[in-house]
Chain A
Amino acid sequence: MTGIRTSDRKPTAMIALLRSISIYIILAAVSAAFVLPLAWMVSVSLHDVRGVFEQPFAWFPSQPRWENYPEVMGLVPFGRYFLNTALVTGLVLAGTLLSCSLVAYGFSRVRFRGRNLLFALCLSTMMLPGQVTMIPLYMLFSRIGWVDTLWPLIVPSFFGSPFYIFLLRQFFLTIPREYDEAALLDGAGRFRIYWSIILPLARPALITVALFTFIGTWNDFFTPLIYINSPEHATLTLGLSMLKSQIVGTGMTQWHLLMSAAVMVMLPNILLFVIAQRYLVKGIAMGGLR
């Protein structure tokens, strides 16, 4: 039987202290490296057009140009982009939560023929790169006149998305069946059970799905890029890309304006993160372990 020798204790304490200090130093350096570009972005957004090119760069401009922000908003319809993005994200949230929870409920709580096979099929579509279906979908939406509208960004979300279906199904499986059975005995229909019992119990998972969907949709670039042509229907992401092309297209790029725009686009994400950090972290963890 081995034991811990008493003479080991003193050096252990010293080693532990050194260890914690070095870990703090490394983490501080890494965190600084991670945050620095963001801080720089904010700093550039407060400079004027020449200040950006000054060497060495002045981190804290003597006269921060807060008016860059209204100036950018005047150049491009940022308010419009924001509204479009908010609209799309809101509807996609509703659609995703509704459809994914419905489907997940079906896959987890109702026994029917072919259930496992269909579920496997559902999961396998996660592997499909969007580009395979991109062109026919574009054709389809083009035929029904939905190109350059927000509909192609919204409608597919009402039909379920494999990853969230999977996530919610896993969660539903952990809810005891007694709830269902009691309600069935009372004569409640399946849909009633789903709506009034399971959904409220699944709030944590639903919040997670909502957060992920929000981030995914708010930041989505590829889909708006393909379907949206005119600025009045653009989302924030697409609008920022268009602004970049526009600003670079003039004779003198106004980087301070571009950075202001980038800060404004990032702000909702960061705010959301600050508010919902707990759920986000838990959700990411949940997604990775299964």
Chain B
Amino acid sequence: MSPERSLSLLLATSLILTGCGRKDTTTAGNVRVTYNCAANVVEIKHLQDELPRLADSTGIEIVLQPFTGPDKLYAMMAAGEPPDIFYTNTVMRDRLAAEGRLLDLRNVSTDDPFLGRLWPDVYRQGLSADGGLYSIGNWSFTAGVYFNKDLFDQAGLRYPDTAWTWSDMMAAARRLTVDANGDGEPEHYGIFIPSHFIEVLELMNGAPVEQKSFFVDFSEASREVFRQYVALMNNQLMPDLRRVQAMGMQASQLLQTGRAAMLVEAVPHQVLCEALTIPWGVAPIPRFGSRPVRYFRSASGGLSISAQTANPAAAWKALKWIIAGASIYQPNPVLKDADFVTGWEARYPHLVGSGFREVWQSSLKYPAGDPRFFVRFSSWTSAPILEGLLPMLDRVWARDMTVDELAASLPGINRSVRKELDRLLQRGDLRPEFVQAIKEQLSLAAREPQR
């Protein structure tokens, strides 16, 4: 075969093959909506099973694009091909809204009864500084202490309930920490609290968290929380965080294998409900001392629609289906009309009598709380804050840095926050309402003592 012929054959084959790869075309008549779903293989599988039915009945074909990182999401936006529906937390949402990347959902939802189905606070959480609605909360949760009933029985301890206190919890943890072979390393720990629940403890124990604060603060109440947390590790009531933070070691494994008798985690927690084979119960997280419990319930984020979406009406329909229709997400706690507890108990019968109902009902007593339940920092400054704070937290958890030393380094972080804000204001492309909001908050902060 002559060189020319083989070359052209090669080119033709490759063009054909690459052409085969693209699946841009949909079945005739269907509208394609891309959903940047959570990178959770279980969730994806359940969704995949239902999507064909949805396409048949509504003509809307949802295509799943698992979330692979905020960098990929932004890259897609920059390339002009963002997913139609994606999750935004309060860290990202305001910034994206200010850049004009998010669709104001009021435009597609006028007179839509769906909005009335949401808890009012969930609705309010989706609003931004300019009054626009940029996201709809797609899940909410509170936090509780899961405990291993067998281990409690063996130690002769009473099960925790809504009346127990922090001292009760510490006493139980001490009893449940067992070092049988005396090598200084307990085989069983009393409790494990993942580090991202520190904010929950702070909020519950009086640390003031200003919704609109740009800067990181560390009140005495917060410091006390951190000290108590580190003390758990120092007293070996809790395993060293580094041991558990190894990638792929999930806190739930600790509970499942009996390595920890108690575990603080979100309520509800799908994986814990499905995968735990030990008899377990759940109780509220007590506050320090003997103060009565307080609950927080939060969405911390929600689904947004890209401003560049080709078919806003279809995207809105798809979004509503995801929140209220997809079976894996039902019953959805953001919906007033979903009797969440009954529905969840129907799904996981072993929840009855576990304490789940009591924990959830209690959380309803307070309006769905701080939307930044797990996300303490404002959209604008979370990046420089976390960049400076996380490495230091690593050192605090490793006991290389004391809580007071951490407090002393915070002004340094706030300095870089100020720089970031200056940079933001210099950009010419943020929408004016948001620039105004930033300036207002900055002037408020200027009146406060230097942090």
- Report A-B touching, CB under 8 Å: yes
Residues of A within 8 A of B (CB): 53, 75-76, 83-84, 87, 91, 94, 98, 142, 145, 147-151, 154, 191, 195, 229-233, 242, 245-253, 255, 258
- Tell me if A248 and B3 are in contact (CB < 8 A): no
Partner of A191, one of B3, B45, B68, B81: B3
Interface size class of B (residues with CB under 8 A): 35 or more
Residue of A nearest to B266 (CB): A251
Report A-chain residues with C-beta under 8 Å of the C-beta of B275: 251-252
Q: Once the chains are docked, how many angstroms separate the CA of A91 from the CA of B12? A: 12
Partner of A247, one of B41, B78, B271: B41
A-B contact pairs, 20 of them (CB 8 A): A53-B253, A75-B45, A84-B21, A98-B7, A142-B79, A145-B79, A148-B81, A149-B18, A191-B3, A229-B76, A246-B39, A246-B66, A247-B248, A252-B252, A252-B253, A252-B271, A252-B275, A253-B247, A253-B248, A258-B248
Min CB gap A145→B, angstroms:
8
Report B-chain residues with C-beta under 8 Å of the C-beta of A76: 41
Min CB gap A95→B, angstroms:
9
Min CB gap A273→B, angstroms:
26
Report B-chain residues with C-beta under 8 Å of the C-beta of A87: 14, 17-18, 21
Q: Once the chains are docked, how many angstroms separate the CA of A91 from the CA of B7? A: 12
Q: Once the chains are docked, how many angstroms separate the CA of A222 from the CA of B244? A: 29
Partner of A147, one of B75, B247, B250: B75
Report B-chain residues with C-beta under 8 Å of the C-beta of A98: 7
Report A-chain residues with C-beta under 8 Å of the C-beta of B256: 252
Q: Once the chains are docked, how many angstroms separate the CA of A91 from the CA of B17? A: 11
Q: Once the chains are docked, how many angstroms separate the CA of A232 from the CA of B66? A: 11
Report A-chain residues with C-beta under 8 Å of the C-beta of B252: 251-252
- Tell me if B38 and A251 are in contact (CB < 8 A): no
Report A-chain residues with C-beta under 8 Å of the C-beta of B361: none
B326 within 8 A of A: no
A-B pairs with the 6 shortest C-beta distances? Answer: A251-B271, A253-B248, A246-B39, A147-B79, A249-B39, A75-B41
- Among A84, A151, A230, A231, which residue has the most Cβ atoms of chain B within 10 A? A230
- Tell me if A248 and B248 are in contact (CB < 8 A): yes
- Tell me if B21 and A245 are in contact (CB < 8 A): no
Known: A87-B21, A233-B21. 7 other contacts (CB 8 A): A94-B14, A229-B68, A230-B65, A232-B23, A246-B39, A246-B66, A253-B247
B249 within 8 A of A: yes
Residue of B nearest to A75 (CB): B41
Q: Once the chains are docked, how many angstroms separate the CA of A154 from the CA of B81? A: 21
Interface contacts (Cβ under 8 Å), in number, total 84
Residue of B nearest to A230 (CB): B65
Partner of B75, one of A83, A91, A229, A251: A229
Q: Once the chains are docked, how many angstroms separate the CA of A147 from the CA of B3? A: 32
Report B-chain residues with C-beta under 8 Å of the C-beta of A246: 39-41, 44, 66
Report A-chain residues with C-beta under 8 Å of the C-beta of B76: 148, 229
- Tell me if B79 and A148 are in contact (CB < 8 A): yes
- Tell me if A253 and B38 are in contact (CB < 8 A): no
- Tell me if B270 and A251 are in contact (CB < 8 A): yes
Q: Once the chains are docked, how many angstroms separate the CA of A231 from the CA of B247? A: 22
Min CB gap B121→A, angstroms:
26
Min CB gap B127→A, angstroms:
29
Partner of B42, one of A83, A233, A250, A255: A250
B228 within 8 A of A: no
Partner of B39, one of A83, A232, A242: A242
Min CB gap A44→B, angstroms:
11
Partner of A229, one of B7, B72, B272: B72
Q: Once the chains are docked, how many angstroms separate the CA of A214 from the CA of B42? A: 34
Report A-chain residues with C-beta under 8 Å of the C-beta of B21: 83-84, 87, 150, 232-233
Given the contacts A142-B78, A150-B21, A53 and B257 also touching, CB distance less than 8 Å: yes
- Tell me if B66 and A231 are in contact (CB < 8 A): yes
- Tell me if B79 and A253 are in contact (CB < 8 A): no
Q: Once the chains are docked, how many angstroms separate the CA of A98 from the CA of B6? A: 11
- Tell me if A251 and B39 are in contact (CB < 8 A): no
- Among A87, A151, A191, A233, which residue has the most Cβ atoms of chain B within 10 A? A87
Q: Once the chains are docked, how many angstroms separate the CA of A56 from the CA of B23? A: 47
Q: Once the chains are docked, how many angstroms separate the CA of A98 from the CA of B10? A: 11
Residue of A nearest to B81 (CB): A148
Report A-chain residues with C-beta under 8 Å of the C-beta of B44: 246
Given the contacts A148-B79, A229-B75, A242 and B68 also touching, CB distance less than 8 Å: yes
Q: Once the chains are docked, how many angstroms separate the CA of A247 from the CA of B23? A: 26
- Tell me if B66 and A255 are in contact (CB < 8 A): no
Q: Once the chains are docked, how many angstroms separate the CA of A210 from the CA of B10? A: 17
- Tell me if A250 and B248 are in contact (CB < 8 A): no
Residue of B nearest to A49 (CB): B275
B69 within 8 A of A: yes
- Tell me if B14 and A245 are in contact (CB < 8 A): no
Q: Mark B69-99, 1 if CB is under 8 A from A, else 0.
A: 1001001101101000000000000000000
Q: Once the chains are docked, how many angstroms separate the CA of A248 from the CA of B304? A: 25
Report B-chain residues with C-beta under 8 Å of the C-beta of A91: 14
Report B-chain residues with C-beta under 8 Å of the C-beta of A255: 248
Report B-chain residues with C-beta under 8 Å of the C-beta of A247: 41, 248
Min CB gap A34→B, angstroms:
24
Report A-chain residues with C-beta under 8 Å of the C-beta of B3: 191, 195
Q: Mark B1-16, 1 if CB is under 8 A from A, else 0.
A: 0010001001000100
Given the contacts A91-B14, A231-B66, A252-B252, A245 and B75 also touching, CB distance less than 8 Å: no
Given the contacts A147-B79, A229-B68, A252 and B250 also touching, CB distance less than 8 Å: yes
B350 within 8 A of A: no
Partner of B40, one of A154, A233, A249: A249
- Among B3, B79, B269, which residue has the most Cβ atoms of chain A within 10 A? B79
Min CB gap B39→A, angstroms:
4
Q: Once the chains are docked, how many angstroms separate the CA of A150 from the CA of B21? A: 10
Residue of B nearest to A231 (CB): B66
Min CB gap A259→B, angstroms:
11
Q: Once the chains are docked, how many angstroms separate the CA of A84 from the CA of B22? A: 11
Q: Once the chains are docked, how many angstroms separate the CA of A253 from the CA of B72? A: 23
Report A-chain residues with C-beta under 8 Å of the C-beta of B41: 75-76, 246-247, 250
Q: Once the chains are docked, how many angstroms separate the CA of A224 from the CA of B269? A: 34
Report B-chain residues with C-beta under 8 Å of the C-beta of A145: 79
Min CB gap A117→B, angstroms:
29
Residue of B nearest to A238 (CB): B68
